[in-house]
Amino acid sequence: MRLRSGSSVPFRFTSLILALVLALSLCLTGCGSQGGDTQEPAGDNNTAGDDAKYTVGICQLVQHPALDAATQGFEDALKEKYGDNVTIDYQNAQGDSATCSTIVTGFVNNDYDLILANATPALQAAVAATTDIPILGTSVTDYGAALNLTDFTGTTGMNVSGTSDLAPLDQQEKMIVELVPDVKKVAILYCSAEANSKFQATEIEKYLDEDGIAYQEYTFADSNDLQSVVNSAVSDCDAMYIPTDNTAASNMTIVSNVTEPAGIPIICGEENMCKADAAIDANAADKDATVLAAVSAIDKARAKGVIKKNTASRKISRMAKRANKNA
């Protein structure tokens, strides 16, 4: 029997949640991670007994290496601690916020024990769907911005905890200045549907202001208008900054196909956005392995319906041509 009381976290799930928050902090990729709500560990005691059964729903916004790694690490930690006593229902929203809502509504209707929301739109959908089921967030940059919490100090005050992937934005701005010393105007590219991308854009703009560097935000609604927005950006700026934006991260080929011919350097908030292209350009020793990993990620996205078959084929073909050209 499940025990719940308003929006408080059921005592039965305390050790489960605490263990997984710690696991999330270890499995996150990116420049850094910070915890959301924090509590003192309750030990390994489980009031429901060692044979308690759990069902955990995972809602992941879109498939790309950073989110995939967070989900995989979370699943590994669950299985390591609970073995066959936990059932995992993983679902991918294919980059659509509305689909996130549909997914988490299903989790709530099925009375799942815990929800992992991987990326900000997934977290927002989960919070809108339930005030009872414990929610863990991951790949979320700022919980205050994501949940519209004023004076956020690290505690949400609701059934939400998790980890943050907020990068050191001041150092990223310094990287722009170091790599492009003559930069006069920076294009800040992100998806308008991602609240945490807007948060990062606003924050890095403060550091650009301090260095007297002009900037302009270029936002896109989804991958359909990404190319036209990037075309506009490269015609007016001499460098581009992309925060840890999930939609951009899953469509970096579209971006690089425009910026590379234009000679516009890109500084990214997440390493996997540029790993394959960088390995190709540098003819790195691990180029083949890196490209194969990128191809594998694209193929997995195709298999799960995240991207269409023709789109996946084009992405792989373009990458192969660049790799062969630089061989």
Closest by CA position to 30, among listed 169, 152, 126, 147: 169
State mean pLDDT over 140-165: 88
pLDDT of the residue at 62: 87
Show which of 164, 186, 210 is a domain's final residue.
164
Q: Is residue 212 part of a domain?
A: yes
pLDDT at 46 over 60: no
- If one compares 82 and 275, the residue with the highest pLDDT of the two is 82
More confident residue, 56 or 32: 56
User: What pLDDT score was predicted for residue 232?
Assistant: 94
Of 254, 184, 192, nearest in space to 215 by CA? 184
Model confidence at 155, in pLDDT bands (50, 70, 90)?
Answer: confident
**Residue 29, pLDDT score:** 33
Cα distance between residue 135 and residue 57, in whole Å: 10
Q: Which domain holds residue 254?
A: 169-325
Count of domains forming the chain: 2
Q: How far apart are CA 67 and CA 83, in angstroms?
A: 23
Whole-angstrom distance, CA of residue 100 vs CA of residue 98: 5
Mean pLDDT within 59-78: 89
The amino acid sitting at 129 is: A
Statement to judge: residues 22 and 69 lie in one domain: yes
37 vs 96: CA distance, rounded Å: 27
Task: Select the more confidently predicted residue: 278 or 230.
Answer: 230
Residues 225 and 293 in one domain: yes
The reply to whether 3 falls in a domain is no
For residue 290, name the pLDDT band (cuts at 50, 70, 90). low
Whether 175 and 160 share a structural domain: no
pLDDT in tens, 87-146: 999 999 988 889 999 999 999 999 999 999 999 999 999 999 999 999 999 989 889 989
Same structural domain for residues 152 and 186? no
Instruction: Please check whether residue 6 lies inside any domain of the structure.
Output: no
**Domain termination site, one of 115, 141, 164:** 164
Q: Which tokens is 244 given?
A: 């840890």
The Cβ of residue 289 has, within 10 Å, a number of other Cβ atoms equal to 11
Is the pLDDT reported for residue 245 higher than 50? yes
Pairing mode, if any, of strands 160-164 and 34-35?
A: antiparallel
Asked if residues 246 and 306 have their Cβ atoms less than 8 Å apart, the reply is no
Average per-residue pLDDT in the chain?
Answer: 78
Decide if 213 is inside a domain.
yes
Same domain, 140 and 76: yes
Q: Is the pTM higher than 0.85?
A: no
Tell me the CATH number at 56.
3.40.50.2300
In a shared domain, residues 158 and 35? yes
Q: Give the residue-averaged pLDDT of 156-184.
A: 89
Q: Nearest CA to 79 among 112, 54, 103?
A: 54
Tokens coding 33: 């991670």
Query: Same domain for 174 and 160?
Result: no
Segment 180-218, tens digit of pLDDT: 888 999 999 999 988 888 989 999 999 999 999 999 999
- Please state the rounded mean pLDDT for residues 312-327: 67
**Where among 144, 164, 184 does a domain terminate?**
164
